[in-house]
Chain A
C-alpha cells in the first residue's frame, strides 16, 4: 500500500502486527466497494424487502430531477454514509469498531442491517432514545428552556419523558396527545410526576396562554399563527378569530408553583385544568374577548381549525378543553404532514416547505404529491417513527454523495432554490452531536448515569445559548460556525480533554498499542472522519513526527486536533 511506503521511514522495521485488531479491520475497509445508485441494494437475495415507500420516494425524486434537468450525484462512499446514518439516527459519529463492524458485513443488505442495529438492537436503545429526546427537548422548549430565572420548566423531567417515549417507540400520535393534554408535576421524583407537563408549563400562565397557542399549532400542526394574535394577516389564511378560538382550548390550564418549603424558591410546578369562568364571568358558557385593530371587541369560544366546535362550558367536569383539542388534533392531516416534514428535513437537510413548521397555503411546497402520500402512509403505519426513519434513510436521496457535480450544481436551496435533493446537503452537526461524538470517540462516555451525562452536556451547552429576553423565550445559538465556535474547537476544555495524551487517555492508549504510526494514524482518521488519510496528510504527519523526535503520542495529538477542527469533521456530509 502506498500508505506504508510513505510511512516506511517511521520505523526501520516498518512492520505491523498482522493479528492486531486495528490492522485486521483496515483490510476490510480497503475492500469496500461502491453501491448501486438505485436505492440501497441491487441484489436483495439475502435481505428483507424494502418498504414500498422507498420506491415511492425514489420515483418521485427521479421524476423531479428529470423535469428540472439535473442528475443526482453518485452514491456516497459507504463508510461516510455510515457516519451520516449514525449522526442522524443516534446523534453521534460511529466509533472505529462500529465502522469496522459495518465494513465487515459483505451482504447486499449491509445498509439495512446497520439501520436495523441502530433502531432495534438493545445496544443502541439508550442512545437512540437519548438522541431523539434531545432533538425534541429543543423543539419543545428550546435550548434555554428550564434555564430561565424562576423557571417552571424542569428540563430533566421533559428529557426523561421523551427518552422513555422513544425507548419504547411510542407511536407519535400518542406522544403528541400526551404532551398537549398533560397534567401533573414537572419534576422527576415529585408526587404525580408527569414529564410531559414541561412542554406547556411556561406557556400557559402569562398572556392568556398565547404562547401555548402558538407553540402547539406551530410544532404539531405546522401552522404559524403568532402574527394573527393581534390582527388579520394579509398572506395567512388563518385570521385573528381563529387564533383566539384555538387559544380558548388552553384557558382552563394553569401551572401552579410549588415552593421549596419555607421559602419563595420555586421547586417545581404542577400543570392542572381548572374551571374557567370566561371573561364574561359565565362559566357555563365561558367566552373570551379579543380586540380587532379598529377597536371592535369580538367573542371567541373553542373551535378547532377545521371549524369543529366543542361545548362552550368552562367547567372541566363538563368539557376538558385540552383533551378535546388533543382528540381533534388526532384527526387532522396537518398532524401527519408536520411530522413527516420535520423528519424529512432532519435526514435530508431541508423539508418540503421552508420553514418546516409553516405548512400554510402561502408556503410553496416541493414534491407535493409525495409529501401528501408519505403523510397518509405514516398515519396508516400507526405513527411508527422507526418506519418513517426507514423510508427516508433507505431511499435514494439519502444515499447520494454531498459532492456537487456540474449536472446538479443549480440544486442549491441556500440560494433560495426549491430543494431537489439531487445531492446530500452538507450541514453542520449541532453542539449536542459534537459532544456525544467526542464522548464516544475518546471513550469519555463511560462515566455516570444517563441523567448525569445529560446534565454535564447541558451545562456545557449553555455557553452557546443566547436568549433574546422576550416573553416568547426566543433564542439563538453561537454554535453556528462562528468565530466563537472556532475558538472553542481550538482551545476549549472539551477539545483539550479529547486531545489529551495523559496516562489512560485514549490517545495515549492508541500510541502505546503495537503497530506502525501509519496504522495508528489510519485509526484516527477512521475514528474521526470515517476515511483513511490521504497521502498529503500522511506526509504532514510524518514531518510532524520527525519534528517531534518520534513522539508518536504528540503526533497523534496534533493530528487529532486537526481532524476535530476541520470542516470535514464538523459537517454531516
Chain B
C-alpha cells in the first residue's frame, strides 16, 4: 500500500516456514523452505531510530506544567522553577527540571479538536476524523517506515503500554499495536505443545486460511494471514525477553516509580533497547474538570515527573537518546479560565507539547502564548507540524507518500511543516 517499500512480509513468511520445518519432513515435498537472509545486524543497529510517545489521555493542563502564568487570574497556585535548560516549568516537576536541557517545549500548539475522541484521533494521525478514510496512527506509520532498519526484529514493532493508542488505519491490522499492560505480561504465549505438533496445526491452518483468501473475500481475510505470521514470529522469539520488566533490579523500578506509568516507561526503555521502533506509554487521569490543582500536585505530576525524568536520563546514559525521540502530549489542553468546580475544561486553541532526543535541540521553548494563556503569540503549530517534526527527527522523509488502494496519494504527516526551531 505504501509506494516506497513493499510490506515486509518476507520476514513473517520466513519465520513461518522455519516453524514448519519439523513438520515439513513429515509432509514431504509439498513445502519448500524460504531462503534465509543474512543481515549485518550490528551496522544497522548503529543507525536505528526509535520513538517513545508518552500519551497523556484526557488532556493535561499546559498552564500548570509547561507554560505557567503566575500572577494572572488564570494562573492557578503553582509556581515556576528554573531548569537545566533555558526554560521554566512547574514547581511540581523538579526531576524533569534537571533533564530539560534534553527537551524542547512547543508552547504554540493550536488545534481545533476539543472532543476526546476527535482530539485523540487527530493528534495520533495528523488528520481529523473522516468517515471515509481510516488513517494510520503514529505508531503504525513510524513502525512501517523504520522496519527496514531492523530486519532481525521478530517482535511487534508497535507496542502500546497501558492504553489503546490508535489503530493502523488503512495500513491494515498487521500494523496494529500490541497492547500490553505495564507489567509486560502478555497473555496466552504458551501453547504447552511441542514444536512438531504446533507445526502440524499450522500447516492445517494455512490450508484453510489460504483457501479462503483465494476466494477473494476481501482484504480483511489477507490481513488476518499477515497477523498470523507476526504472531508466529513472536512466539518463537528470544526477543520477547524484553518484556520481562520484572527482572529489572529493584532500584531501577523505584527510579521510574512503582506504578503503572513508571513501570511502563521502564518497559519502553527495554523495548527500545531490543529494537522496537515505536512504543506508546499511556498515562490517563488528566480530564480534570474539577479539583485540578489537588489532583495534579498530589497525584498526576509526581507520577509523570519521576517516570519521564528517569526515562530521559536512562536513555541519555545508555547513548540511546540521540536516536530515540521522546514525545509528550495529550489530545488537547485545558481552559485557562478556572471553572466553578476548581477545574479546567477542554481547550485546544493554545497549548504545549514536549519533544526531546533524536536530534532535537533541547533546553528551549518554541513559541509562546499570550499573558493569560488563551491565545498563541506568533506562528501556531498543528498536529501535522508536530508529526512532520517527529518524522524529521527520526530520519523519515517527508516526501514519503502512501497510496491507498483506491489510488489516492496521501503525504506522510498530512503535509505538515517542520517546526524549524526544534532542529536549529
CB distance from A64 to the nearest CB of B (A): 18
Closest B residue to A536 by CB, please name it.
Answer: B207
B209 sits at the interface (CB 8 A):
yes
B237 sits at the interface (CB 8 A):
no
Closest B residue to A487 by CB, please name it.
Answer: B188
Bound CA–CA A483/B187 (angstroms): 11
List B residues 211-236 near A (Cβ within 8 Å).
211-213, 215-221, 223-225, 227-228, 230-231, 234-235
Query: B168-180 CB contact bits vs A (8 Å, 1 = yes)?
Result: 0010010011110
Q: Are A483 and B176 in contact (CB under 8 A)?
A: yes
Q: Are A481 and B224 in contact (CB under 8 A)?
A: yes
Bound CA–CA A174/B275 (angstroms): 57
Residues of B within 8 A of A207 (CB): 289
Q: Are A354 and B132 in contact (CB under 8 A)?
A: yes
B322 sits at the interface (CB 8 A):
no
Q: Are A402 and B163 in contact (CB under 8 A)?
A: no
Bound CA–CA A172/B188 (angstroms): 41
List A residues 405-421 near B (Cβ within 8 Å).
405, 412, 414-417
In-complex Cβ contact of B115 among A227, A358, A427 (8 A): A227
Q: Are A483 and B188 in contact (CB under 8 A)?
A: no
Q: Are A486 and B231 in contact (CB under 8 A)?
A: yes
Q: Are B227 and A486 in contact (CB under 8 A)?
A: yes
Q: Are A484 and B187 in contact (CB under 8 A)?
A: yes
Bound CA–CA A562/B219 (angstroms): 20
CB distance from A441 to the nearest CB of B (A): 16
Residues of A within 8 A of B216 (CB): 403-405
Bound CA–CA A231/B332 (angstroms): 15
Q: Are A469 and B285 in contact (CB under 8 A)?
A: yes
Q: Are A226 and B187 in contact (CB under 8 A)?
A: no
In-complex Cβ contact of B231 among A490, A543, A547 (8 A): A490
Q: Are A230 and B345 in contact (CB under 8 A)?
A: yes
Query: A483-508 CB contact bits vs B (8 Å, 1 = yes)?
Result: 11111101110000000000000000
CB distance from A507 to the nearest CB of B (A): 14
B117 sits at the interface (CB 8 A):
yes
Query: A16-53 CB contact bits vs B (8 Å, 1 = yes)?
Result: 00000000000000000000000000000000000000
In-complex Cβ contact of A466 among B130, B163, B221 (8 A): B163
CB distance from B221 to the nearest CB of A (A): 5
B205 sits at the interface (CB 8 A):
yes
A568 sits at the interface (CB 8 A):
yes
Bound CA–CA A10/B35 (angstroms): 35
How many residue-residue contacts, CB under 8 A, span A and B?
195
CB distance from B233 to the nearest CB of A (A): 10
In-complex Cβ contact of A226 among B115, B186, B287 (8 A): B115
Q: Are A559 and B191 in contact (CB under 8 A)?
A: no
Bound CA–CA A529/B156 (angstroms): 30
Residues of B within 8 A of A487 (CB): 186-189, 231
Residues of A within 8 A of B188 (CB): 487-488, 490-492
Residues of A within 8 A of B167 (CB): 480
Q: Are A483 and B230 in contact (CB under 8 A)?
A: yes
Q: Are A355 and B131 in contact (CB under 8 A)?
A: yes
A573 sits at the interface (CB 8 A):
yes
Residues of B within 8 A of A482 (CB): 173, 176-179, 227
Q: Are A540 and B227 in contact (CB under 8 A)?
A: no
Bound CA–CA A207/B116 (angstroms): 15
Q: Are B201 and A561 in contact (CB under 8 A)?
A: yes
Bound CA–CA A122/B118 (angstroms): 45
Residues of B within 8 A of A474 (CB): 116-117
Q: Are B114 and A230 in contact (CB under 8 A)?
A: yes
Q: Are B346 and A558 in contact (CB under 8 A)?
A: no
Closest A residue to B285 by CB, please name it.
Answer: A469
Closest A residue to B203 by CB, please name it.
Answer: A540
CB distance from B399 to the nearest CB of A (A): 24
Q: Are A566 and B209 in contact (CB under 8 A)?
A: yes
Q: A404-B218, A490-B231, A558-B204 are in contact. Are A468 and B164 (CB under 8 A)?
A: yes
Q: A481-B224, A537-B207 are in contact. Are A562 and B116 (CB under 8 A)?
A: no
23 A-B pairs with C-beta separation under 8 A: A227-B115, A230-B114, A230-B346, A402-B217, A404-B218, A425-B218, A466-B164, A468-B164, A469-B284, A470-B284, A474-B117, A480-B176, A484-B187, A490-B188, A491-B191, A492-B188, A536-B207, A536-B211, A537-B211, A558-B201, A566-B205, A566-B209, A568-B208
Known: A416-B132, A472-B116. 7 other contacts (CB 8 A): A414-B170, A414-B218, A469-B58, A476-B164, A536-B207, A567-B225, A568-B208
Lowest 8 A-B CB distances belong to which pairs?
Answer: A416-B132, A469-B284, A562-B204, A476-B164, A354-B131, A567-B224, A562-B205, A466-B164
Residue positions of B touching A, CB distance < 8 A: 26-28, 57-58, 114-118, 120, 130-134, 156, 163-164, 167, 170, 173, 176-179, 186-192, 197, 200-205, 207-209, 211-213, 215-221, 223-225, 227-228, 230-231, 234-235, 284-285, 287, 289, 345-346, 404-406, 408
